[in-house]
């Protein structure tokens, strides 16, 4: 079986500065993969590179098709939903308008209303807030909204950039439960960037460890959890 997403020799640049120095990685349909690494290792940059938000070199294939020369809008339309760092909420629009926008690029527009209902079943809190301006939602609610908005695309791959950032531990637990549910029920593959390595490795099937723009360790999540370097540097025991 071919990989859903595969990057080969992926480099990325901010201006003239090379931030990713040739990444090779792949992930399978329906799997959960996590990218770990310290601040500045290039995790967020990798997600941005996949979506064509910055200048890249190298090859990215989604479902066998080259996407590295395409615009963000077109990549998204292939079924890659990206929850960016900072969540990318449309703060001045209502919760429901945010969800409607999530389904904007879909061809089956009629199904969008039904899917909004489905999102409210996953996230009952969002139903209570449906008419409220998204900017007035709490951090946890906004993160739920961001995930729900991404799911409205009916993506095959969900890119999540630090969904636990700035949230209370209890809420982080909820968000991780939701990711697990979504992965199983919607059969959507997840590429998760996380600071919280312990939780990310519990959730993921596969993991990559980034250090200053390079992949230094890769493998099954369980193996990586037992890896001594990772344990000392990122898991703290």
Where on the chain is the footprint of another protein (CB under 8 A)?
51, 53, 71-73, 76-77, 81-82, 84, 88-93, 97, 100-102, 104-105, 109, 149, 153
Residue 81: name the closest of 105, 108, 117, 113 by CA: 105
Nearer to another protein, 132 or 233 (CB): 132
**What value does the CA radius of gyration of the chain take, rounded to a whole number of Å?**
17
Q: Are strands 5-14 and 55-62 parallel, antiparallel or unpaired?
A: antiparallel
Listed in sequence order, the residues at least 6 apart from 194 whose beta carbon sits closer than 8 Å to its beta carbon are: 34, 35, 36, 162, 163, 164, 200
**Minimum distance of another protein from residue 109's CB (angstroms):** 7
Half-sphere exposure of 17 (CA within 13 A, CB side): 6
**Minimum distance of another protein from residue 197's CB (angstroms):** 26
**Minimum distance of another protein from residue 219's CB (angstroms):** 30
**Minimum distance of another protein from residue 137's CB (angstroms):** 15
52: left (phi over 0), alpha (psi -120 to 50) or beta: left
Nearer to another protein, 53 or 235 (CB): 53
Nearer to another protein, 60 or 153 (CB): 153
Nearer to another protein, 91 or 168 (CB): 91
């Amino acid at each position: 079986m071919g990989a859903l997403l595969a990057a080969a020799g992926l480099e990325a640049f901010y201006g003239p500065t090379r931030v990713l120095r040739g990444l090779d990685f792949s992930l399978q349909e329906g799997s959960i993969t996590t990218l770990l690494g310290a601040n500045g290792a290039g995790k967020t940059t990798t997600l941005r590179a996949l979506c064509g938000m910055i200048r890249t070199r190298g090859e990215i294939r989604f479902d066998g098709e080259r996407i590295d020369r395409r615009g963000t809008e077109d990549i998204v339309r292939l079924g890659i939903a990206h929850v960016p760092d900072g969540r990318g909420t449309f703060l001045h629009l209502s919760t429901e308008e945010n969800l409607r926008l999530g389904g904007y690029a879909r061809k089956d527009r009629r199904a969008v209303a039904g899917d909004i209902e489905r999102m409210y079943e996953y996230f009952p809190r969002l139903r209570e807030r449906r008419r409220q301006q998204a900017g007035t939602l709490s951090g946890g609610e906004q993160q739920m909204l961001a995930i729900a908005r991404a799911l409205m695309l009916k993506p095959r791959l969900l890119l999540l950039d630090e969904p636990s950032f700035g949230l209370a531990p209890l809420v982080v637990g909820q968000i991780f439960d939701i990711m697990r549910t979504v992965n199983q029920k919607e059969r959507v593959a997840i590429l998760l960037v996380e600071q919280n390595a312990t939780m990310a490795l519990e959730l993921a099937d596969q993991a990559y460890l980034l250090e200053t723009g390079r992949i230094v360790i890769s493998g099954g999540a369980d193996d990586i959890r037992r890896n001594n370097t990772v344990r000392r540097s990122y898991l703290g025991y």
